[in-house]
Amino acid sequence: MTGKVAVVTGGSRGLGREMVLAFAEQGADVVIASRKLENCETVARTVEAMGRRALPFAYHAGVWDAAGDLANAVYDEFGRCDVLVNNAGMSPLYPSVDAISEALFDKVVGVNLKGPFRLSATIGTRMIEHGGGSIIFVSSIASTRPSAQELVYGAAKAGVNNLTYGLARTLGPTVRVNCIVPGPFLTDISEAWDMDQFEQAARTGYALGRGGEPDEIVGAALYLATDASSYTTGALIEVDGGPR
């Protein structure tokens, strides 16, 4: 990825942070975009210590106009964007399906579907003007197999799956659009899980019998970000431990 510029939303923590560091290790300059600027700045310092340029940027995926602000910042700083990873997401808990408020529904759909669409449309169009690029969505196994606690999140991520195929046709042939579909990963989010219950369920529910470690997302991300996937577009790649 030497000489390339990669933008990662939700890049200050979890799977996003792992992808940021992997891209930098492979020679890319990176834009770390997330809601809390100070967290982005922390990751940016790590990237700069690796000898790469980094731009931390406060970005709220649920705000329509924020996509244009981020795109302008990227092109003003680097003059290009070769890889865009739509990783920002949220799945707040709710006590029951009838307790889901309109505000919560709109917020979850905004962050997980509206924002990725707008940012991909904005940067993807500029990618075409600059000769091409790679867009990577991050969906979830909840997009096809949602639990009772992930109904709105799963529906939004199902929309992301659909966008992957649709935008691959819309932005091709110079821009490739693909999607990573992760299963359960042991990021900081898992700190709120009942780990005994999860590990018991994972042993019987997943072929590999465990949750994923954060750095195990890197292989799929690098494949889709580089020319290794030059003939891959519109694809959903499951990285989920092989559900039984």
Q: Which helix (H) or strand (E) holds 137?
A: strand 133-138
Given the residues 12, 157, 206, 229, the one annotated as active site: 157
∠ Cα 184 60 182 (to 5°): 15
Residue 153: active-site member = yes
List the strands of the sheet with 236-239, edge to edge. 54-58, 29-34, 5-9, 83-86, 133-138, 175-182, 236-239
Residue 165 annotated in active site? no
Give the separation between CA 243 and CA 202, rounded to whole angstroms: 9
- Establish whether 190 is a catalytic residue: no
Which residue out of 59, 94, 153, 206 is catalytically annotated? 153
Say which of 12, 140, 143, 229 is annotated catalytic.
140
3-state SS assignment for residue 66:
helix
- H-helix or E-strand spanning residue 64: none
- Quick one: which H or E segment has residue 196? helix 195-205
Provide the annotated active-site residues: 140, 153, 157
